[in-house]
Amino acid sequence: MLISILDKINSFNEFIFTPIDSLVEKLPLAPWAIDAVCDSIHLLPFLFFVFILIEFLEFYYADKINSSLRKTGDYGVIIGSLAAIFPQCGFSVMASSLYSRRIITRGTLIAVYLATSDETIPVLLAIPQKAYLIIPIVGIKLFIAILMGYFIDLALHQKKSEVPGVYETEEKIEEGCCKHDIEHGSKRELIIHPIMHTINIFVFILSITLVLNFCMEHFSMTSLSGGKYTQILLASLVGLIPNCAVSIGLTMMLVKGSITFAACMAGLLSNSGLGLLVLLKNNEFKDTMLIIFIILAISIVSGAAIEFLT
């Protein structure tokens, strides 16, 4: 049903944006820049539709998901991973806050980070011909997240109350990428936040597409991409940057053919949106550095394994 709706939006795009494309083509821009502007504008209806859907699901179910995660016990890794796959804004932020208050284990937190899809799913849904990539990306992330989450907790023999760090008794109001309250949203935000989020993501996509088109126009793909395993290492390091633009950039580079699927997966595994930023702010420093090292190691090894097997 969702694919059918996206197809209808695509048909609507072709009807509405044909005259807009004609206007853009008259601008004094290079052909690669015109292509970037047109391609990005065409994504707007898809992005808005997806973010409206996400906002409604987040508004009505985010509290239930967060409440469930607080009471999960031995099922925290599974529930956290499944919840993180859903592209709601700020779940990794919530997980970081719960971990800093010793409500979830380190394995659960890392599972959430590894499974977090951030903007990958909305971007791929906005490009219907590439939407098939969602299944392998989500499936691999979910498998690695659950496997590594339980392995870490079992290897460390760690329970929630045994996690070292700074215990907090006062809950903080955490903000998502668009500076909105991710825990206590209002019905007013059901429209306002999707509009803001669509504009923000559109700007990111346009900027990234302009850079990619420029590079592909003026440089060879080899000089842009580097070796396969070098890509994996670099993508894993870039993925640690706490910003949703990273997942957008990695996804667009995969779509454009600038990086391999393995490198994209490595970067998406290490990327947890704003989660790491909150962890650095609220958690004990040495413990946070250990978590970052574990995530980076898992991402690099997983990317290399995917490259070897494909």
SS (H, E, C) the chain: CHHHHHHHHHHHHHHHHHHHHHHHHCCCCCHHHHHHHHHHHHCHHHHHHHHHHHHHHHHHHHHHHHHHHHCCHHHHHHHHHHHHHCCCCCHHHHHHHHHHCCCCCHHHHHHHHHHCCCCHHHHHHCCHHHHHHHHHHHHHHHHHHHHHHHHHHHHHCCCHHHCCCCCCCCCCCCECCCCCECCCCCCCHHHHHHHHHHHHHHHHHHHHHHHHHHHHHHCCHHHHHCCHHHHHHHHHHHHCCCCHHHHHHHHHHHHHCCCCHHHHHHHHHHCCCCHHHHHHHHCCHHHHHHHHHHHHHHHHHHHHHHHHHC
More reliable by pLDDT, 9 or 166 = 9
Q: CA 116 to CA 215: how far, in whole Å?
A: 29
Is residue 100 a part of any domain in this protein? Answer: yes
How sure is the predictor about 222, in pLDDT bands with cuts at 50, 70 and 90?
Answer: very low
**5-9, 35-39, 96-100, 297-301: range with highest mean pLDDT:** 297-301
**Per-residue pLDDT reduced to its tens digit, 51-82:** 787 777 777 666 665 666 565 567 888 988 98
Q: What is the pLDDT of residue 33?
A: 87
- The answer to whether residue 234 sits within a structural domain is yes
Which residues span the domain enclosing 159? 2-19+30-309
pLDDT at 166: 45
The mean pLDDT of 232-253, rounded to a whole number, is: 89
Lowest mean pLDDT among 21-30, 145-154, 200-209: 21-30
> In the prediction, which pLDDT does 103 show?
82
7-11, 127-131, 142-146, 203-207, range with the lowest pLDDT = 7-11
Q: Which residue has the higher pLDDT, 237 or 160?
A: 237
pLDDT for residue 11:
64
Asked whether the predicted pLDDT for residue 161 surpasses 50, the reply is: no
The answer to whether residue 76 sits within a structural domain is: yes
Which token pair is 174? 């955490």
What confidence category does residue 24 fall into, taking pLDDT thresholds of 50, 70 and 90?
confident
Whole-angstrom CA distances from 87 to 52, 127, 133, 139 are 12, 16, 15, 14
The pLDDT, as a whole number, for residue 104 is: 86
Q: Is the dihedral of CA 223, 227, 233, 239 positive or negative?
A: positive
What is the pLDDT averaged over residues 13-26?
A: 70
Average pLDDT over every residue of 292-306: 96
In a domain, 225, yes or no: yes
Q: Is the dihedral of CA 197, 199, 205, 207 positive or negative?
A: negative
- Number of domains the chain is built from: 1
Which of residues 173 and 278 earns the better pLDDT score? 278
Tell me which amino acid residue 237 is: L
Q: What is the pLDDT of residue 173?
A: 46
Q: How confident is the model at residue 167 (pLDDT cuts 50, 70, 90)?
A: very low
Report the distance separating Cα 265 and Cα 306, nearest Å: 8
With bands split at pLDDT 50, 70 and 90, how would you rate the model's confidence at 158? low
* Cα 206 to Cα 214: distance, rounded to the nearest angstrom: 12
- Give a yes or no: residue 60 inside a domain: yes
Per-residue pLDDT at 234: 92
**Average pLDDT score over the chain:** 79
Burial (Cβ within 10 Å: 0-12, 13-18, ≥19) of residue 139:
exposed
For 168-207, the pLDDT digits (tens) are: 444 454 555 555 555 555 566 677 878 887 888 888 888 8
> Is there a domain that residue 87 lies in?
yes
Which pLDDT score is estimated for 98? Answer: 83
Task: Give the type of residue at 175.
Answer: E
- Give the type of residue at 173: I
More confidently predicted of 225 and 124: 124
277, part of any domain: yes
Is residue 238 within 8 A of residue 226, CB to CB? The reply is no
Q: Domain for residue 73, yes or no?
A: yes
